[in-house]
Amino acid sequence: MKVKASPENIKLAGKIIKEGGLVAFPTETVYGLGANALNPIAVAKIFEVKNRPSFDPLIVHISRIEWLEKLTSQIDERAFKLIEKFWPGPLTLVLFKSQIVPDIVTAGLKTVAIRMPAHPVALELIENAQTPISAPSANPFGYISPTTADHVEKMLGDKIDLILDAGKCPIGVESTVLSLIDEEPKILRPGGLPVEEIEKIIGKVKIQTKSEKILSPGQLQRHYSPKTPVKIFKSIDEIKNPENSGILLFKKINLNIKAKRVEILSENGDLLEASANLFSALHRLDDSGVDVIYAQEVPETGLGLAIMDRLRKASAQE
Ligand code: TXA
Ligand code: MG
């Protein structure tokens, strides 16, 4: 059931989480599918509903710093500096976990991913549930992430206890996942917090979005994918059969061809606006019956790195 995120409904949602149920809720990045992170049976339902492989660990969402200490066994200066600057916000930190974090949350890893979301509904929900909430994006595994409650309803509506609707997510791409378990900090998934911002606080970080050993399934080659094939293009002459195609433009350009459907992420080429619109535009194109989605390249600076990461994964072959 989809309901407005009113104070009463957030209270009800908190109760559902406390009692082991599943609630989809808004964050500043995408909608999450939440369960009590300390209840392994509740967490198992997330994997079932999403059809998510059990080797893919979840992010634990907290509303207060006290929980960080309970959930981890070791925190260093870098983490504190980043937290002070960026939490609440779209930065997920991978740290060594404590005993209380169930193995199902971390897929058996010794580490746990934690973030404090910058959305009043998410924070209020966690406060009401009185427990950290583990939540992946509220979509079937591998499919486009949801940035509205309607996306969640369309994809998972009949499988979960409640959807809290607070409109569109302001950032629109998932959080940046940063591992601090080695001396060298590593980005495991580019996201809503630009790498450049992180480097201003802790110096150079490595960007490791591909590795032989997959540490973060955001690293899987094909992910965030519509059912329709996606092709990335630089120039318009790469577009074949426009009459049956959808075109995803980064900014407004002069199109001298007539496509079946065109979506513009940001008229003026603003990366923040583009990331906020990315998944919604992909959902619409995927629902529009086109044979192929042609997606225009975006510059890979700031949020552009996360946008191109999502487009590449959406366009990867199985
Ligand atoms: O913005 C977000 O991060 C959203 C909202 C709902 O908070 N959540 C989200 O969750 O994107 P999910 O499950 O779709 O992505 C979590 C990413 C995955 O790539 C996962 O592999 C990685 O975080 N991850 C989680 N725990 C990890 C760990 N212990 N070590 C390495 N990567 C981890
Ligand atoms: Mg996801």
pLDDT for res 187:
97
pLDDT for res 212:
45
pLDDT for res 220:
63
**Nearest alpha-carbon partner for 44 in 58, 31, 32, 27:** 58
Residue 236's CB: how many other CB atoms inside 10 A? 16
Q: Distance between CA atoms of 65 and 28, rounded to whole angstroms?
A: 18
145 is known to lie in a ligand binding site: yes
User: What is the number of the ligand closest to the CA of 29?
Assistant: 1
Q: Which ligand 1 atom is nearest residue 174's CA?
A: 1
276 is known to lie in a ligand binding site: no
Would you say the CB of residue 88 lies under 6 angstroms from ligand 1?
no
Would you say the CB of residue 144 lies under 6 angstroms from ligand 1?
no
Binned average pLDDT, 10 residues per bin, the chain of 318 residues: 97 98 98 98 95 91 97 95 98 98 94 98 98 97 96 96 98 98 96 98 90 56 86 94 96 92 97 96 96 97 96 87
- Ligand 2 center to residue 242 CA distance, Å? 30
In this structure, the strands spanning 186-189 and 111-115 are unpaired
End-to-end CA separation in angstroms for the chain: 33
Backbone angles phi, psi at 29, to 5 degrees: -95, -70
Q: Which helix (H) or strand (E) holds 261?
A: strand 261-264
What domains can you pick out in the chain, each with its CATH number? 2-207 (3.90.870.10), 230-315 (3.40.50.11030)
Q: Which ligand 1 atom is nearest residue 90's CA?
A: 1
Ligand 1: which residue has its CA nearest to atom 15? 136
pLDDT for res 317:
74
- Ligand 1 center to residue 217 CA distance, Å? 8
**Inter-CA distances, 132 with 35, 113, 246, Å:** 9, 12, 40
User: What is the number of the ligand closest to the CA of 25?
Assistant: 1
pLDDT for res 238:
94
Whole-model pTM: value is: 0.93
